[in-house]
Structure 1
């Protein structure tokens, strides 16, 4: 069951910006985000998509586990107040701010075979330079290779800014105009986390041509979690996972 959230006893974490950069559409990026840091992602264009995976930089066998993330919080959609779990029952990051109310956790990455199915023309970097059209799958593999990781290490990715709906036959459909330019989501990192992301299109995006939609990345710090924190209180499992984090940091 949900723990009731009383506005008088819960606290929304504040965010303090330190640095900002822009990641164009169809690009990829990675960085080790230290515990206590925060990352705000802001859509530059409507219908942006950010594919994201996470790893423990000290032990990369520990990685983002979306099935556990959804199961522990009894949800199909991820939004403010939710946490992103590792496969060791710890929390990589908390969603402390969100303008969208829904981020897709089920559709995976844009793959090579999607181009032909969609009728999109795939352009290599040698042809188009910064306007090339990579797949999300290949983009993550490029970032992973920088840390000695390969395709066997790739976990299921979260699609920030995107929403899907299921019909009566359980088919997933992309929801257009879910994301407007200027919409943002902020992640607070509860442990040192290796973050890899791309700005390639969602695999179900119905656009006629490969869309190039970028995001602004703002790096900063956020109010630390305590017993009044909305993410801590939103689910009983979150409190247990935060306790796992505390034990992990004591042992480290």
Structure 2
């Protein structure tokens, strides 16, 4: 569902620029709003969420999909944890839908899907592992890398129940905006994938804007 935000980007308290293939890790406080902006279009932002006060509580695709009865996320969707608590609510979305099923690229999946020579290409799981290694203060480890959301990514479900990676439905300047319902660790890999159309075969940067709770 397309729904525009009433917030002015010029009034955001903080803006983070995430280059293609880079990561972001940080805390968004309960009641704050943050926006992911697809600056050039057709970019996938692979994202994980954790309760900042207890990282064992994290985003759950299973609980989120079950409670909303839909595999796609958009304005009005509640992002739920593995304790079935609401972590975030999507309050604005100009893209239309976001993927919960496609997972994240890894060196192993690149090898299986594409070619042995693709194994050494950078992948989202590498970005996440680098993020938690370089930022131990968040208390995350390899075991905490689980289901993720692919914001802006187009992964249709076929009639046979399979998944396909298709050209994105996003465009330059499209965004998705969420309000945090608890203190949230946000971990983003701005996907470097070159082998399928999720980034238009040309990974590009995204911005993250944060409006602190008033």
Q: Same fold (TM over 0.5)?
A: yes
- In the TM superposition, what is the alpha-carbon distance from 1:222 to its structure 2 partner? 6.5
Say whether the 8 Å CA contact 1:26–1:134 is kept in structure 2. yes
- Given candidates 20, 24, 27, the residue that maps to 2:19 is 24
Residues 222 and 119 (structure 1), Cα distance of their counterparts in 2 relative to 1, 3 Å cut: farther
1:118 paired to 2:117: no
- Which residue in the other structure is 2:53 paired with? 58
Which whole-Å CA distance do the structure 2 matches of 1:103 and 1:157 have between them? Answer: 11
Q: CA RMSD in A?
A: 2.7
* Preserved CA contact (<8 Å) 1:32 1:192: yes
- Is residue 120–residue 208 contact of structure 1 (8 Å, CA) maintained in 2? no
| Matches of 2:116 and 2:191, distance apart in 1 | 13
* Correspondence 1:59-98 to 2 at 5 A: 59-98=54-93
1:194 aligns with: 185
| Inter-partner Cα distance in structure 1 for 2:199 and 2:29 | 39
Q: Normalising by the residue count of structure 2, what TM-score does the alignment of the two structures yield? A: 0.84
Alpha-carbon contact 2:34-2:179 (below 8 Å) kept: yes
Aligned to 1:46: 41
Q: Secondary structure at the match of 1:198?
A: strand
Query: Which is higher, the Rg of structure 1 or of structure 2?
Result: 1
Q: Deviations over 1:84-114 (max 9, x none)?
A: 1011221111101001111000011011034
- Secondary structure (helix, strand or coil) at the match of 1:62 reads coil
Matched length: 204
Q: Distance in 2 between matches of 1:159 and 1:51?
A: 5
How far apart are the structure 1 equivalents of 2:203 and 2:41?
11
Please, which of 141, 144, 153 is the counterpart of residue 132 of structure 2? 144
Aligned mates of 2:66, 2:163 — CA distance in 1: 19
- The one of 149, 154, 171 equivalent to 1:158 is 149
Give 5+ residue unaligned stretches, structure 1.
1-11, 125-132, 224-252
- TM-score by structure 1 length? 0.72
> Counterparts of 2:70 and 2:127 in 1: how far apart (Å)?
28
Q: Matched residue of 2:182: which SS?
A: coil
Q: Using the alignment, how far apart are the partners of 2:51 and 2:60 within structure 1?
A: 12
Determine if contact 1:50/1:200 at 8 Å carries over to the other structure: yes
Gapped regions of structure 2 (runs ≥ 5)? none
